[in-house]
Amino acid sequence: MIPVQAVEGQTIAVLGLGRSGRATAAALAAGGAQVVAWDDGADTRQAAEAEGLRIADLTRDANWHGVTALITSPGIPHLYPAPHPAILKACQLGIPVDNDIGLFFRSYATEDWQGFDRTPKVIAVTGSNGKSTVTALIHHILQEAGRPTQMGGNIGTGVLSLEPACDGEVVVLELSSYQTDLARSLTPDVAVFTNLSPDHLDRHGGQGGYFAAKRRLFAEGGPDRAVIGVDEVEGMFLAGQMQMGPADDRVIRVSSGQKLDQAAWSVFARKGYLAEYRKGRQAGSIDLRAITGLPGEHNHQNACAAYAACRAVGLAPRQIEAAFHSFPGLPHRSQTVAEIGGVRYVNDSKATNVDAALKALNAFERIRWIAGGMGKDGGISLLAPALGRVAKAYLIGHSARDFALQLGDTPYEIAETLDQAVAHASADAASGDTVLLAPAAASFDQYPNFEKRGEHFMELVEALAG
């Protein structure tokens, strides 16, 4: 646990008592604060009270007496589409609102660091797609290189549940827009922006607000190095804002598809090869085509971002390349589950939006595509360029019929459930085909989350394998 600093003797309110909320309450108490907590769920409140937390309804004025700050969980809206009543109350009373990410950045460095030979560092990763893979890949590379490292944030361990820093450690954090939007302190040593595509627009009041939430990771703290994907206009704009001029190598530009040999420092992938350029000269190259844990152009972009972040903390190209080959990939993200009779089964349940699904479709040929669920605004019309790779679509869930109307001449069937989709796709598939779960939709119509959907797919494939 990382005790929160500069809170001793204060009364601090915590809103939301899920995993991060309970960890936040414990870290505040460890720092000497008096904690008052609230959650909208009666069962959650009861469980927290049984653990010794003081529960008080934060929508009532009487319970704010003496409170100096409100710490809220990331899933609770603080502005759009409407602020939670307790957050609105804090704003009306002039009480600052923060989250666990802000507490982490102001509490991670301690006096103990003066005795370290190598100062600990924080790498923070944000973006629309690929940030979990990039975070896990950086962490894996650091482990393989023998560097002390921890991973947390939106993946793995909550930030305040991490262990205090040790000499030379690198903490790797995945940060969602919900987390970066509100944190009052954001000071990573290396900040990574993977890409941007429309997502969570209701929470951020539109695409501009969504980008602004991501941009705060770079604008608020001024990282020593910024690794920025420039395949969208927002990334190009952000890179330009962070650089003092063309020769400023504090920004490492990253691309999958563009040759970036004129930038001060860049890492890009083309035709399956990663290349690093510094001041117009090639400094490293890796053949990505045989790395099974990173299939497709979208994972080549992830590899470039992870490579750049690891170079920024002093790792050598050969160390990074060796670790690439041992990276197993993440569950539910272009994860090869099995190969049965020459048919490859791939679980990309995390492809919950059109941009992620497009990248998954572009990674394979002769696809038996399982898609559907709770579709998002705009449908799947933007997937048209990749539909030539689809032999047949098997549509499930709430949006199955809406998706069918946007498939053009692509063969399809309404399978309704994942069980039927897997059964029918496997029956139709021939050697060389790929049965791909890349839903382009949320899971909430049939599953509590994308993980459960992916796990069900894996169970069905394993049953096929016998």
Long-range interactions of 111-114: CB distance < 8 A, separation 24+: 112/164, 112/165, 113/165
To the question of whether residue 431 is assigned a binding role by annotation, the answer is no
Rounded Cα distance, 348 and 365, in Å: 15
To the question of whether residue 154 is assigned a binding role by annotation, the answer is no
Coil vs helix vs strand at 90: helix
- Displacement of CA 145 from its chain's centroid (Å): 23
To the question of whether residue 128 is assigned a binding role by annotation, the answer is yes
Contacts of 237 (CB under 8 A, 6+ apart): none
Coil vs helix vs strand at 19: helix
To the question of whether residue 133 is assigned a binding role by annotation, the answer is yes
| Beta-ladder partners of 113 | none
To the question of whether residue 127 is assigned a binding role by annotation, the answer is yes
Which of 347, 316, 353 has its CA nearest to residue 333?
Answer: 347
Rounded Cα distance, 43 and 122, in Å: 36
Residue 342, classified by CB atoms within 10 Å of its CB into exposed (0-12), middle (13-18) or buried (19+), is exposed
Using an 8 Å Cβ cutoff, are 434 and 405 in contact? Answer: no
Which one-letter amino acid corresponds to residue 462?
Answer: E
Task: Write down the residue that tokens 């991973």 correspond to.
Answer: 151
Rounded Cα distance, 251 and 243, in Å: 6
Helix and strand numbers, DSSP H then E, in the chain: 15, 20
Using an 8 Å Cβ cutoff, are 98 and 182 in contact? Answer: yes
Q: What number of residues does the chain have?
A: 466
User: What crossing angle do the helices spanning 317-325 and 131-144 adopt, rounded to 10°?
Assistant: 110
To the question of whether residue 99 is assigned a binding role by annotation, the answer is no
**What are the backbone angles phi and psi of residue 395, rounded to the nearest 5°?**
-100, 135
**What are the backbone angles phi and psi of residue 116, rounded to the nearest 5°?**
-80, 145
Residue 452, classified by CB atoms within 10 Å of its CB into exposed (0-12), middle (13-18) or buried (19+), is middle
Task: Write down the residue that tokens 């990663």 correspond to.
Answer: 274
To the question of whether residue 130 is assigned a binding role by annotation, the answer is yes
| Beta-ladder partners of 46 | none
Rounded Cα distance, 312 and 310, in Å: 5
- Displacement of CA 124 from its chain's centroid (Å): 10
Q: Residue 247: how many CB atoms within 10 A of its CB?
A: 10
Strand order in the sheet with 390-396: 335-340, 343-347, 434-437, 367-372, 390-396, 412-416
Residues belonging to the binding site for ATP are 127-133
Residues belonging to the binding site are 127-133
